[in-house]
Structure 1
Amino acid sequence: MSEYSSLLTDLAEVITVEDLEQLKGACKEDIPEGQSAGLSCSRDWLSYLEKHHKLAQDNLSYIEHIFEISRRPDLLTRVVEYRTTVLKISEDDEIDSKLTRIPSAKKYKDIIRQPSEDEIIKLAPPPKKA
């Protein structure tokens, strides 16, 4: 299985039915209402985007945009990680690459990542009762 296929499988597994309705709503200008109703699962939605040239192995800008306007930094981060590790396109290169139109995607990496041990604020124990 290619890394692109793995990305799509991963996305399809984490997008719930509720998420799908929100994502389809974000695409309403690009998916006619009659066709949107027929997209009942995330795999159907991703396949539709591929068939209509909105999503491809080297064209992730549309789906990144949809994830950003849908306020899904978790999904956006997965796509950004694929782009930076597999396609070797960093945030510094993305403006020139035309593969994404979201230079702000970098901000989501900090939201999703786990804090280091030094960044965790440790609270003092509660005072003892007299």
Structure 2
Amino acid sequence: MSEYSSLLTDLSGNITNEDLEQLKSACKEDIPEDQGESITSSAEWFSYLEKNNKLSQDNLSYIEHIFEISRRPDLLTRVVEYRTTVLKISEDDEIDTKLTRIPSAKKYKGMYKDIIRQPSEEEIIKLAPPPKKV
């Protein structure tokens, strides 16, 4: 069994039916509703993602994103470990090669202050003062 197959088997073993519904909901934009209803196991979900080019042995960014937004850090950690140990892609390499997943707030916590700025005078919406009570 390849390490990739082992990863999917390990992930499948940690996804309950309730989890599967949440994961399918998190990727509802990529799985048509009628096809989503026919997916009844995590193995079928992984298979669907592979057939639709959302998942492959060397492209795990989609499921990393889905696990992150579904609040499954345990599954995300397993995928990141596979990526860094088997594929030898580190966080820095991933950024350099544009294989990035949606950044987590934790990962980029310090960078957001550069993005957030004070609005200019033209951008500020002026509100009228509240009416005075009589």
Q: TM-score, normalised by structure 2?
A: 0.75
Contact preservation (8 Å) 1:95, 1:101: no
Q: Does 1:36 align with 2:36?
A: yes
**Distance change in 2, residues 1:55/1:64 (3 Å):** same
Aligned pairs for 1:92-103 (under 5 A) are: 92-103=92-103
Query: What residue number does 2:7 align with?
Result: 7
Pick the structure with more helix per residue: 1
1:104 aligns to what SS in structure 2? coil
Q: TM-score, normalised by structure 1?
A: 0.77
Query: What residue number does 1:81 align with?
Result: 81
Query: What is the Cα deviation at residue 19 of structure 1?
Result: 0.3
Unaligned stretches of 5+ in structure 2? 108-134
- CA–CA distance in structure 1, aligned partners of residues 97 and 105 of structure 2: 15
Query: What residue number does 1:54 align with?
Result: 54
Unaligned stretches of 5+ in structure 1? 108-130
**Distance change in 2, residues 1:90/1:105 (3 Å):** farther
**Distance change in 2, residues 1:50/1:106 (3 Å):** farther
CA-atom RMSD in angstroms: 1.6
Query: Structure 1 vs Structure 2: percent identity of aligned residues?
Result: 82
